[in-house]
Amino acid sequence: MSKIEYFHAEGGASNPAPLSPAVRAGDFVYVSGQVPTLADGSVVAHDVETQTAQVMRNIEEALKLAGCELSDICKTTVWLHDARDFARFNKAYSAFFEQGKFPARSTTEARLMINILVEIEAVAYKPV
């Protein structure tokens, strides 16, 4: 039996990218970079707050596949299309965590793959 489990949404839209939304390796769950899309693949409104909220909801859904929740996240990596959005991003992002219990995080500016403003990947810790 493999010590690595791969999770995919049942009945959801098939992802054209060769990736798993979530992968468990021992006590850690790795969530692939999530973007601000709805289940039908459409991108939500073009403002960083709305997009950040959608990305966090997508992360939450990926975590659920592996039996985790947002409070299990120990590390995130964030890519912003424009570093000038940093303060507005922080406000939207912080609303998803209990005050003072924020994951470790790295944030950088990058040109993203599709016409979006933010992408986030996460690592959660939840013993099996």
Domain boundaries, the chain: 4-125
| pLDDT tens digits for range 96-111 | 999 999 999 999 999 9
Average pLDDT in the chain:
93
Give the domain 4-125 fold.
60s Ribosomal Protein L30; Chain: A; (3.30.1330)
pTM score: 0.93
| pLDDT tens digits for range 3-19 | 899 999 875 445 678 89
HEC readout, 100-121: CCCCEEEEEECCCCCCCCEEEE
User: What is the layout of strands, in order, in the sheet containing 28-34?
Assistant: 4-7, 22-25, 28-34, 118-125, 73-80, 104-109
Contact of 117 with 47, CB cutoff 8 Å: yes
Q: What is the pLDDT along the chain (128 residues), one digit of tens a residue?
A: 468 999 998 754 456 788 999 999 999 999 999 999 998 999 999 999 999 999 999 999 999 999 999 999 999 999 999 999 999 999 999 999 999 999 999 999 999 988 899 999 999 999 98
Angle made by CA atoms 104, 58, 105, in degrees to the nearest 5: 10
Contacts of 45 (CB under 8 A, 6+ apart): 51
